[in-house]
Every structure is written in C-alpha cells, then in structure tokens.
A and B are shown apart, each in its own frame.
Chain A
Amino acid sequence: MRLLLVEDDEYIGDGLQAGLTLEKYAVDWVTNGNLANEALKMNQYEIIILDINLPGMNGIEVLKSLRKRKDHTPVLMLTAQDRPEEKVKGLDAGADDYVVKPFDLNEIYARLRALYRRHGSGSAKLPFIEHKGIKLEPASHKVYFQDKLIELPQKEFEILSFMMNHIGQVCSKARLEETLYSWNSEVESNTVEVHIHHLRKKLNSSLIRTIRGVGYIID
C-alpha cells in the first residue's frame, strides 16, 4: 500500500518510514510542505501521514490544497500540541484522524488500518473485507478462501487488498504498480500480470476479470 509521509523531524520521519516499511507499506517520505504538495499532485496515494508544523507550506495548507483538488485520500494528522484548537483546525481542514506526539508505532498502524477500512469502498467499517467467499484481514495480513487460510506473498496481498477495497471499479495496471512501489524501489515489468496470475490460481479463477487495454476488476 503506498503511503506519503510528511514529517520534517529527521528521527521521527526516519523511524516512521522504517516502521511502516516493516508493515509492508510502500513509504514516500518528504520533509517539507512544498515537496508534499508536489508529491500529492503527481502521485496517487492510499493514505497520507501529515505533520502539521512544517517548514514551507504547513500541514494545514497542504491539506486544504489537497481537498480543494477533490482528492479524498485519507489523512492521518500528526501534531505536537494536545490543545483541542489544534486538533479542531486539522480536522476541519479535512484530516480524517489525528495522533498526538509522542505516539506508539502500533497505534499508528492501527489508525492507518482503521482509516483505510473506513475509506475502502467494499464492506466498509468492518475490520475485514469479505467478498465472494474471500475474507481479507488487513491487521493480520491473512486471506481466507472458503474459510481456508491461503498463503499470499506480500505483493499479491497488496494487489488483492487494493482491489477488494475498490470492488466494482477498474484498477489500471499503473495504479496497481503505484500501490506496490515507493520512489526508491525498482519496478519490474510484468510483475502486476504475474501477481494477478498467481492470485487467480490460488483463489477463484473467475474472481479477477481483465478489461483489455484498461486494467482489472473484481465485480
């Protein structure tokens, strides 16, 4: 899952990037508001972690400009102030949730999962997604097919998770690639096709439909 991390503090940014990578997120980390704004214009992210106090454009400005572009990507706001005004300002500017520093990495994980769950189009508001006999649990990274645990490598899980969150929508190959790779990782060609092929083999072969020239869809 591709995530944009906007944090100017070297140690928090680095720690979050490492910690989120451990949780299999593809993390892009920027250290100022202007860079964050540019990155958000250029790329599509599943989720954004945004610090409020930033050099250049501050977090609130970045957030407002994001929402102005009708981009509804869930935003988890980081703040060093536990004053209510600060939180209200952030939430009113369009943040979906906030975490006050200092935080626990596990809390960040859980909040990200909850945010993603709320924003997914599938069986929203449940800690798992179930569709056509497939049950996917983001927290434990487990997939069941007809109540049987299916072992899926990370990238296959990511693709399935993304598509299950966008049931009935066509997901382009490029969009799926974006979820898999952050800026620093090398993208191998054909990988999306290969992962889809494996998913069809392991699960119901008719689950993922190819729409020629456009992408893939789970109906």
Chain B
Amino acid sequence: MRLFRTGSLKKHLLIYLLCSSVLIWGTAMALCYKQARSEIYQLFSAELEQYAQILQVIVESMIVSDSGMTHWDQDSATSLLESFNSRHDYQSGIAFQIWSPKNELLFRSENAPKSKLSLEPNGFSMNLIENEAWHVFSSNQRKKYIIHVAQPKANLDRISQQISLQLVLIFLAGVPFLAIAIWLVLKRAFDPFNSLISKLHRRAAGNLKPLSEDAFPKEIKPVVKELNYLFKELEVAFEHERNFTSVASHELRTPLTGLLTQIQVSIKAEDEQMRNRALKKAHEAAIKMKHMIEQLLVLSRIQNNKQDMTTVPVNVSEEIELVIKDCKKQITQKNTTVYYNNVEPVYLNGNLSLVNILIRNIIENAIKYSANENSVIKIRCGQNEDGVFFTVEDNGPGIRKSEVDKINQHFFRSQKTITHAEGTGLGLSIVHRVVDLHQAQVNLKKSKIGGLYFKVIFPEKTPKPKSKTRSRSKKKKLAKA
C-alpha cells in the first residue's frame, strides 16, 4: 500500500474501489453468461421436445382417424407454413422433418435440409448437415413416423450472445455511474478532513486554543487529540518565550537607562572632571549590564531543558568552596567575612553546572545584600532526614517581613515557568528554575544575624559516588558543552 503514502488518497481510493468493483462485477457477469447459456440451451431443448410432441400428436391422429395419406395436402401445408413469416429477434429458426415408416420424407419445413436431420430415431443429438450444425430432437413414439425437430446451432449461439451482450452493455454503462457514486461517497467521507484543514487554515498564527474533538469522527479524533497536545506544548513554549522576553526587557531596561543617562551627561558635561566621572560611571553600568546579559543567557538556557538534564552525584561542599573562590573579588571589595563550616563532603544527585549556578547566585546575592560595614555571610551544608541542605545567611540591614514574603511568593507560585517578582532580580529567577528542575524546596526567613536566611533542601537521599574526583572532571565536560 505504498501508493497510499503519497499523492491523493481520494484518487487512490477511487481507483482501487472502482477496479475491485469492476473485477468482482465482471466475474459475476462471466458466471451469469455461462449460466444464461446453459439455461437458454435447456429452454430451447424443451421447446424442441414440445414441438416434436405436438407434431407427433397431429401426424399420428390424422393417420389413425383417416387411414392413409389421402387428406394430407402437402402443398397447402407448405404454403400455409410459408405465410407465417414472423420476424422476431429471438426467432430460433426451428425446422422439422416427418419421415414415414417406409423411410420416406413426408413433410419438412422450408428451412429444413432434405437429408435426414438425425440418424437417431429418439432423443437429442447434434449433427452436421450440409456444413451446418443442427441441434435435433427426434421422436418415434409408436415406431411408425419419425419426427425430427431441429434448430441451427448458430441461432442458439446468436441468441445467447445477444442476451449476454445486453448484460455487458448494462454493466459498462453502469461503470461511470459507479465511479460517480464512489467519488461522491468518498467526498463525503473526506468532509471531516476538509473541515479540519479549513479550521487549521483559518486559525491565526498565535491562536493555540484546543480544537473541539466532538466535531470529528472516531478516526480523526486521535489526530485532533495529537494536534491539541502539540498546541498545548507550543503554548507553554510560547509562554516561556514571552516571559523570558518580558523579564529580559525589564531587567535590561534599568542598567540601559543608567548607561544612557551617564553617556548623555558626559556629552553635556561642561568640565573634564565631570565628563570623566560620567564616563567612569557609564563603564561601570555597562559592566553591570554585561553581567545581567550573562545571567539572562543562563536563564534562557535552563528554562526549557528538562529533557537534557543529566544528573551526577555533586559534591556540594566542594562546589561551595569553588564559588567562594570565584567570588573573591566581591568579598574583598566589600570586606566580607565568610563563615563556612567545611565538614565532610556532602553529595546530591543533580546537574553539576546548574547546582553550581544555584550556589553562586545565592552566595553572590548574600554578599550583595549583606551589611556595608562589617559584612558577614554564613554558609552551611549538610545532610539530615529531609535530605541534603544548603543554607546562606547575611547580616544585611533589617530585611522586612514584607520583603521576605515577596521573595517567598516568588518561589511558591506554582507555575513551572520563569516568573519574575519585581525587584527580586534575575538571580532569584535562576535559583527558582534550578530548584524546580531538581524538585528541591526553598525555605526563607529572617536571619538571626539580620538579613535573609536562605535554605535549599534537596529531598532525595543520594548515594556516594565511587570515586571522589568524578564530579569535577565531569564539570569540565559540561562547561564546554
């Protein structure tokens, strides 16, 4: 059924249906023809027999009632027979001969040959006389007169052919009607397809509402179902895209405004000192913007990659140390004291680069919001009955409960897409996404040392890896990828 894969399904169906109908119908016709022939043959045989009997009765009775042949007016009988000049299509051209017991030909019809139609005195026979085949019935009931009634075989054939031809002609005339009927039925059967196509065609590019499945027959419902599923997936993808664009444009707007303003000030500045100061600020703003763009790229990379998230046992304590090392610049700039209880390695099953991003964002945030004077952050990690936990606290100046609530809200919105709480920054959006991808939990409260207490719990109990170096070597590969 390779044919059905390309081209017009309707055309193929029409051709196949028509061919098979013609084939079946044709076979039935051939059988009919054969049957008809045999029926016609029997019909004529019966006719011959009947003729013969009638003739026999007449001849025998005449001879019995009036002895001898005196009353037999052969000439008038011949002329009378000739006057029955019927012209019918199915006239079988029946001929007869009456032979006397003395083997004399008493009487014959005009179309009968002069020689004996059959040598048989009784029953059916097929004889070739003067190059013409005859179908003969002979009757010799009282062993006196022999009556032969015959019919040319050609006639028999002609009539049966005529009848069969009529059948074939009707059949041939029927084929175009059959084709039209099939075509109409197919057209109707394909209506749901057309309706689906026109529904899809009329659809605006942005319309991803599901199609109603009720409007379609059982065979098309799975297609519609699959389409609806696809629509839903697309909707989610678009939603991600839209959210991302909105977050990106909003987040970039602030540093861009700072940059533009500083550049305009530097253009308008009246003295060198002012210009230099504005340019320095513009440079700083540009660096801030660069950092933000990097964060956005991370966010866009992780927002939709559930399927290709490879997990490995990650050594959390090692990652924390690495992040602290990477944040050296910020730590020295702010003169931050970092407390970290470097205990035994703690492992969790996760995506190494994502866990690193999560730890980095939380620690960077803590450094950023810690107090300007005597800045302190406290980092801990470990394992308890809830799973692997990681906490960061800062001594930022009195974070208000409403602000803790705001960050909390950001995390507890159920939608699995990037969300954005005003003023919470990209870092939190990234942390949120990574937490979601790992099915981890976040616990936020006001820290005892003043600022925010940020706890991430990875609920699973994770096995220790076979070799300790495995996680780091893997990270390099991931980072390249």
Contact = CB atoms under 8 A, between A and B. Distances in A.
Interface of A: 9-12, 14-16, 18-19, 22, 53, 55-56, 80-81, 101-106
A80 B254 contact: yes
A112 B80 CA distance: 134
Contact of B254 (A9, A16, A18, A22): A9
Given A9-B257, A15-B281, A102-B256, 4 more contacts: A11-B257, A11-B259, A12-B257, A103-B257
Q: Which of B260, B270, B281, B284 has the most CB of A within 10 A?
A: B260
Interface of B: 250, 253-262, 264-265, 268-270, 274, 277-278, 281-282, 284-285, 288, 400, 422-423
A105 B268 contact: yes
A10 to B, nearest CB: 7
A105 B254 CA distance: 14
A16 B257 CA distance: 10
Nearest to A103: B257
Contacts of B288: 11
Contact of B264 (A15, A81, A101): A15
A11 B261 contact: yes
A18 B274 contact: yes
Contacts of A101: 253-254, 256-257
A12 to B, nearest CB: 4
A188 to B, nearest CB: 22
A165 B281 CA distance: 36
A172 to B, nearest CB: 32
Contacts of B255: 9, 11
A105 B278 CA distance: 14
A81 B250 contact: yes
Given A22-B265, A55-B423, A104-B260, A12 B281 contact: no
Nearest to B288: A11
22 contacts: A9-B254, A11-B259, A11-B288, A12-B254, A12-B258, A15-B258, A15-B262, A15-B265, A16-B261, A18-B262, A18-B277, A19-B268, A22-B269, A22-B270, A53-B422, A53-B423, A80-B253, A80-B257, A101-B254, A102-B253, A103-B261, A105-B268
Contacts, number: 74
A64 B288 CA distance: 33
B261 A12 contact: yes
B268 A22 contact: yes
Q: Is the interface of B mostly helix, strand, loop or mixed?
A: helix
A131 B26 CA distance: 112
Given A15-B281, A53-B422, A80-B253, A9 B269 contact: no
Nearest to B284: A11
Contacts of B258: 9-12, 14-15
A24 to B, nearest CB: 11
B290 to A, nearest CB: 13
Contacts of A104: 260, 264
Contacts of A55: 423
Contact of B265 (A19, A53, A81): A19
Contacts of A14: 258, 262, 281
Contacts of A16: 261
Contacts of B253: 80, 101-102
B257 A105 contact: no
Contacts of B265: 15, 18-19, 22, 105
Contacts of B285: 11
Residue of B265, B274, B400 with most chain A CB atoms under a 10 A cut-off: B265
Nearest to A20: B265
A101 B422 CA distance: 15
A19 B261 CA distance: 8
B284 A19 contact: no
A186 B288 CA distance: 34
A104 B267 CA distance: 13
A132 to B, nearest CB: 34
A55 B257 CA distance: 18
B279 to A, nearest CB: 11
B45 to A, nearest CB: 101
A10 B270 CA distance: 22
Contact of B260 (A9, A18, A102): A102
Given A53-B422, A53-B423, A55-B423, A15 B250 contact: no
A159 B422 CA distance: 41
A106 B268 CA distance: 10
A89 to B, nearest CB: 12
> Which 4 residue pairs across A and B have the least CB separation, nearest first?
A11-B258, A15-B261, A102-B257, A11-B285
Contacts of B262: 11, 14-15, 18
Contact of A80 (B250, B268, B274): B250
Contacts of B278: 15, 18
Contacts of A11: 255, 257-259, 261-262, 281-282, 284-285, 288
Contacts of B256: 101-102
A76 to B, nearest CB: 14
Nearest to A17: B265
Nearest to A15: B261
